[in-house]
Amino acid sequence: MNMGWARPGLLVGVHTVRVLGIMFVILYAAGRLPVPFAPVAGWGDIFVGATALLVAWSAYRRPMNTRPLLWIWNLIGTADLIAAVGLGVISSPGPQRLIFAEPSSAIMTTLPWLLIPGFLVPLLFAVHIGIFIRLAKQDAG
């Protein structure tokens, strides 16, 4: 994946869409998504999305001074995606189910929610990888 055209701040800014994680919290409150999946995925996405704009702005204004913040923010964002996917999988119906709270996370296999694990998560994960690559190349010189 060649993201040589994109500065880390621009790539971080893409993640502002994650404030829509509020939908996980709303679905949990409505009894349509289970604990711990919905609160972890929802609040994690809200945090990452809300801080993305601040981190992106810092990276734009002071690129060299923001490098440690970019690394930390990117690690947190990546860990949040991995945790959300993992919790979603182990709380969905099937032999892999380890969390038996009701309701299950089966709603995530229906439209429009399917677009999150089927499109948005892979896209955002790829952007996280792109940020890691950009940061590593800049660190290497």
Q: What is the pLDDT of residues 41-97, one digit of tens each?
A: 999 999 999 999 999 999 988 877 889 999 999 999 999 999 999 999 999 999 999
| Residue 122 clears pLDDT 60, i.e. is over it | yes
125 part of a folded domain: yes
* Range of the structural domain that residue 28 is part of: 8-140
In the chain, the number of structural domains is: 1
* Residue 1 within any structural domain of the chain: no
Contacts of 137 (CB under 8 A, 6+ apart): none
Distances (CA, A) of 69 to 66, 118, 135: 5, 29, 11
Q: What is the pLDDT of residue 138?
A: 80
pTM for the model? 0.90
pLDDT at 2 over 60: no
2 lies in a domain?
no
Confidence of residue 9 (pLDDT cuts 50, 70, 90): confident
pLDDT digits (tens, 9 = 90+) for 84-114: 999 999 999 999 999 999 999 999 999 999 9
